[in-house]
Structure 1
Amino acid sequence: MLWTVPLVALVSLAVFALAAASPTDAAAAFLGARDEFTGGAARERVEQLVAGTRWFDAWWGWVSGMPTGDLGVSTTARTPVVDVVAGRLPWTLLLMVLGLGVGALAAVPLALLAARSPRGVVARVLTSGLWALSAVPAFVVAMGLVAVLALGLGWLPTGGLTDPGAPVGPGQVGRHLVLPVLSVALAQVPWITLHLFRAMTVQLHSPATAAARLRGVPERRVLTRHVLPPAAVPTLAIAGARLPEVVAGSVLVEEIFSWPGLGQSLVAAALAQDFALLATATVLLTVVAVLGGLLADLCLVRIDPRTDPDGL
């Protein structure tokens, strides 16, 4: 927790420096369609407004306002950054939690299926397919799902939070959430399944498993009671280190599906050099990854009392 403070400071400093070095035209992004109708003097005033402050001074002003909750005003949303974050962060967390949860739920039966015969044809085909899927970026998986399930079959909407003009409700949100959640989940299934399968193959040859089989315990119960729980411990330990990947994948998925989360704001802020919103969104996603890793470590210590907390 203490290391999070200097980490956040360094991340935010890097964001301001990299955004200032970006070749994007902040004034054009701010003006949008009005850019071609704006005169030279007016455009110069806009440039002074959105990009006239040195990046270090802008960073210091942003940091100075953090203790009072003043994170500045977003030039892309034309509203205070706090309001943008309050409206978008819950949707990002919903997508990440559901995507990771669905991925974990799908990985367990796949790992159990492969572990029944680790050297069999099913295990070989399954692991090969998962290795291939792990090499596909999350945004490619998302576009493939759109092409098949939305454009090809017409079963699901292509994006957004609701249908045009429809009120925000559980039915509308749930229907529009299916494809983004599947995209995030499919990016997580390969590594969860492969790590779990490898740990289960080790547990299959453990003394506890051999003793259970000698007592006549059915093979299905051996897998679910004597193999799966110990195998989940190293997988959970790796999950904390993989959370930044979940965050990065969710950001890309949000942009593809026009999901109203922080990821979409992050892309728009980067293109427009919206320093305040860009830094705030990046720092919040960094904190989510750090706290998620901490939660994974705490769960690991809770599940396995043999774990040394100082060694994590």
Structure 2
Amino acid sequence: MKKYIIKRILIFIPVLFMISIGAFLIVNLAPGNPVDMYVSPDMTVEQIQATKEALGLNDPLIMQYAKWVTNIMRGNLGFSFSSRIPVSTILSQRVGPTLLLMSISLVVAYALAIPLGILSAKKQNSIVDYVVTGLSFTGISLPSFFLGLGLIYVFAVQLKWLPTGGTKLLGVDGGIADKLRHLILPVIVLATQFAANMIRYARSSMIDVYNENYMRTAVAKGLKPMQILKDHGVRNALIPIITVIGADIPKIVGGAIVTEQIFQWPGIGSLMVASINSRDYPVLMAITMISAVAVLVANILVDIMYAVVDPRIKFS
């Protein structure tokens, strides 16, 4: 197992290298000139050239990439084009809100979805199954922006129970209670999306397990339903569930672009939109690479969890 993990980590290096090349080319070859965002009509040609020089855009693309990679290897993410603040400083301000929002959303989603998926499988083709499946497909079908705007209209505009967005009331220190109130609506939107997807996988996985011979044998032995579910059912159904969780883990770092925009949440997702609009290449590249690392790390964690859940799985 250790050799396998070391091998996967070593594979990360060329993979990250290829991702960095692709992302750098896509960002820099996109239509438009980032200098146009930071110059005024009354600037002279010399001043515009000085601005390009300050942003490091006068060098050939290969040289720009070489300098960027060299700085990355030294732990230097560069400076933002728009604010001239170190990218690491900007990210440190945005990572916290994103981790808080996404972590709570995933915990809430899994706490609801996995039991509901198991219940739906256990009550297959019953009213309960139809209701749970219907809720799952509804959650998948609802666009996040539609659900978010609907919740804002009902609970913030009409009922005035919850704030429309942000992380806290301006000029007021409401403490933890105020932060929790601001979390409720975006968490509902994100948890709905995550839970709807997880319910389908949990239900399908449990149905497959219930059809296995060892489950019928356990029933024939007279074991209690909860004991059968606990000892023989859930553990064997975890592999597909772990796969879905592994796909969701990188989103904790990457954030949710649409939801953060709707609720004015100062996270990584909204930062990515702002950096695209302002053509802030250093910030955009940093977010891309962090997301890539998160995906690769999540894949290793999923492989490790496979071996923990099912000892029959061996990696060589």
| Fold similarity call, TM over 0.5 | yes
Q: Quick one: distance in 1 between partners of 2:255 and 2:135?
A: 20
- 8 Å Cα contact 1:254/1:264 also seen in 2: yes
2:67 aligned residue: 61
Query: How much has 1:168 moved relative to structure 2?
Result: 8.2
1:71 aligned residue: 77
Provide the identity percentage. Answer: 27
Q: Quick one: distance in 2 between partners of 1:13 and 1:168?
A: 45
Aligned counterpart for 1:292 among listed residues 278, 295, 298: 298
Query: How much has 1:197 moved relative to structure 2?
Result: 0.6
Q: Deviations over 1:90-142 (max 9, x none)?
A: 32223222222211111022113312321123313422332342233434433
The one-letter amino acid of 1:16's match is F
Asked if 1:156 corresponds to 2:171, the answer is no
- 8 Å Cα contact 1:112/1:223 also seen in 2: no
Asked if 1:40 corresponds to 2:43, the answer is yes
1:172 aligned residue: 178
Aligned counterpart for 2:272 among listed residues 244, 266, 281: 266
Q: Deviations over 1:207-252 (max 9, x none)?
A: 3332333344443443344322221222213432454567666233
- 8 Å Cα contact 2:110/2:195 also seen in 1: yes
Q: Quick one: distance in 1 between partners of 2:174 and 2:293?
A: 28
Q: Deviations over 1:283-310 (max 9, x none)?
A: 1112112212221221221121111334
Query: How much has 1:65 moved relative to structure 2?
Result: 0.8
1:19 aligned residue: 27
Are the structure 2 counterparts of residues 263 and 114 from structure 1 closer, same or farther at C-alpha, using a change threshold of 3 Å? same
Query: How much has 1:89 moved relative to structure 2?
Result: 1.9
1:105 aligned residue: 111
Are the structure 2 counterparts of residues 135 and 8 from structure 1 closer, same or farther at C-alpha, using a change threshold of 3 Å? farther
Q: Deviations over 1:135-175 (max 9, x none)?
A: 33434433333333333332222221211123484333322
1:117 aligned residue: 123
Query: How much has 1:270 moved relative to structure 2?
Result: 1.6
Q: Quick one: distance in 1 between partners of 2:66 and 2:311?
A: 44
Aligned counterpart for 1:181 among listed residues 181, 187, 211: 187
Q: Quick one: distance in 1 between partners of 2:174 and 2:52?
A: 37
1:7 aligned residue: 15
- 8 Å Cα contact 2:235/2:309 also seen in 1: no
* 1:174-213 correspondence to structure 2 within 5 Å: 174-213=180-219
Q: Quick one: distance in 2 between partners of 1:69 and 1:296?
A: 27
Aligned counterpart for 1:214 among listed residues 220, 223, 231: 220
2:57 aligned residue: 52
Task: State the Cα RMSD in Å.
Answer: 2.7
Task: State TM-score, norm by structure 2.
Answer: 0.84
Asked if 1:281 corresponds to 2:284, the answer is no
Are the structure 2 counterparts of residues 215 and 89 from structure 1 closer, same or farther at C-alpha, using a change threshold of 3 Å? same
Query: How much has 1:176 moved relative to structure 2?
Result: 1.7
2:6 aligned residue: none
The one-letter amino acid of 2:57's match is G
> How many residues are treated as equivalent by the alignment?
305
Segments of structure 2 that go 5 or more residues without pairing to the other structure are 1-8
- 8 Å Cα contact 1:26/1:50 also seen in 2: no
Q: Quick one: distance in 2 between partners of 1:79 and 1:168?
A: 29
The one-letter amino acid of 2:123's match is S
Q: Quick one: distance in 2 between partners of 1:77 and 1:197?
A: 48
